[in-house]
Structure 1
Amino acid sequence: MKQILVYSDSLSWGIIPGSRQRHPFDVRWPGRLENGLKAAGDDVRVIEDCLNGRRTVFDDPYKPGRSGLEGLAQRIEVNSPLALVILMLGNNDFQSMHPHSAWHAAQGNAALVHAIRTAPIEPGMPVPPILLVAPPQIGMPAGTMAEKFNGGDVKCTGFPKALDKVAKELNCPFFDASHIIHASAVDGVHLDAHSHETLGDALVPVVAALLGEPATP
């Protein structure tokens, strides 16, 4: 069995827009991806490590443990051997308490890639390839997200392009989710069921092509 680690935030954890409830596994995109790969004949397990509010490398001043760097190397060690790591992080870097730009969030992803590639895994285990996924861009923050993401729709401008540049520099495959899905109008941040299903289905052939492919640090 090949193991895939999804390292992400609430967009992948599956918050239902306008609530604190969670989409079921078969709806949220990591589950949809696992089921699609299995239906195509791949023996896989998708491990969800998706923390609500997780940034790339920045701290949340109100909640501890939201920097994506915190404990990442150990998560790689715990879950090894891994056939693939999927990173979809960045939108929380644009919360209203942060001054960050698209460049900052892209560089945060670069630091995460470095942490994965240098994690203290057991001798002989593979360094997994890393798929960088640009999340759909923040829409007009509304409801419970209005204050938290005020201005985020502007600060996130250009993030997919900046992340694509980092992916090329680090020799990571890249997928721009904003080409196929968008944030729900309910809160301007999270994904409805249709967007989860669309993203999971779109990633099936992408991930299938990457499984077993060696990483090039």
Structure 2
Amino acid sequence: MQHVLVYADSLSWGIVPGTRQRLPFGQRWPGAMELALLEQGREVRVIEDCLNGRRTVWDDPFKPGRNGLQGLAQRIEIHSPLALVVLMLGTNDFQSSHQNSAWHSSQGLAAIVAAIRQAPIEPGMPVPPILVVAPPPITVAHGPVTPKFEGGDLRCVGMAAALEEVARTMDCHFLDAGQVVTASPVDGVHLDADQHARLAQALTPVVARLL
């Protein structure tokens, strides 16, 4: 059995845009990807570590524990041996409580990659390869998330390119989800169910090749 860790935020947790509800396991992309891999005959388990509001390296001024570096090394220890880590972070770096650019977010992601590789795993266990997935760009926020993501559509410009450069220089694999899916028109941030399905479809062959 190969274990794949998805370390991500609410886009992968499966929040239903405009609500506080969650899509079922088989409808959110990590679950749909696991089911597709199992159908191919692969013995794989996808571990979802997806926290709403998680940043790369910044704290949420209103909710504790949203800094992605906090406890990351221990998560790698807990779930090792890992065949792959999938990182899909960055969206929350552009909340209105931060004035980050795409470059800042990419450097936060680089710190996440470094922390994964430096985790004190047991001797003989592999340091897992990493697949960086650039989230789709934020569009103009709507509904209850509007104040939280005000201006995020402008600050996140260039995010995919910046993350791809980090992936290249740090020898990670890369996929731009923005080439496959778009943020929901309901809130301009999260993914509708059909977009989860599309992302799972795009990621399944990529992950299969890496396992």
Report the TM range for the smaller structure's normalisation.
over 0.9
2 CA distance for matches of 1:195 and 1:111?
28
1 CA distance for matches of 2:202 and 2:165?
22
1 CA distance for matches of 2:40 and 2:172?
24
1 CA distance for matches of 2:24 and 2:140?
26
Equivalent residue for 2:92? 92
Percent identity, please: 65
Query: What do you get for the CA RMSD once the two structures are aligned?
Result: 0.4
**Secondary structure of the corresponding residue to residue 26 of structure 2:** coil
Aligned pairs (5 A) from 1:1-217: 1-211=1-211
Superposition deviation, residue 122 in structure 1 = 0.4
**Secondary structure of the corresponding residue to residue 185 of structure 1:** coil
1 CA distance for matches of 2:136 and 2:145?
16
| Runs of at least 5 residues in structure 1 that lack an aligned partner in the other structure | 212-217
2 CA distance for matches of 1:209 and 1:48?
20
Count, aligned residues: 211
Equivalent residue for 1:215? none
Superposition deviation, residue 201 in structure 1 = 1.1
Q: CA offsets per residue over residues 110-167 of structure 1, 9 Å max, x none?
A: 0000000010100000000000000011011000111000000000000000000000
Give the residue type in structure 1 aligned to 2:174.
F
1 CA distance for matches of 2:159 and 2:56?
13
Give the residue type in structure 1 aligned to 2:17.
P
Normalising by structure 1, we get a TM-score of: 0.97
Normalising by structure 2, we get a TM-score of: 0.99
Superposition deviation, residue 55 in structure 1 = 0.0
2 CA distance for matches of 1:75 and 1:104?
24
**Secondary structure of the corresponding residue to residue 69 of structure 2:** coil
1 CA distance for matches of 2:162 and 2:8?
18
Give the residue type in structure 2 aligned to 1:162.
A
| Runs of at least 5 residues in structure 2 that lack an aligned partner in the other structure | none
Superposition deviation, residue 106 in structure 1 = 0.5
**Stretches (4+) displaced over 2 A:** none
Give the residue type in structure 2 aligned to 1:183.
A
Give the residue type in structure 2 aligned to 1:195.
Q
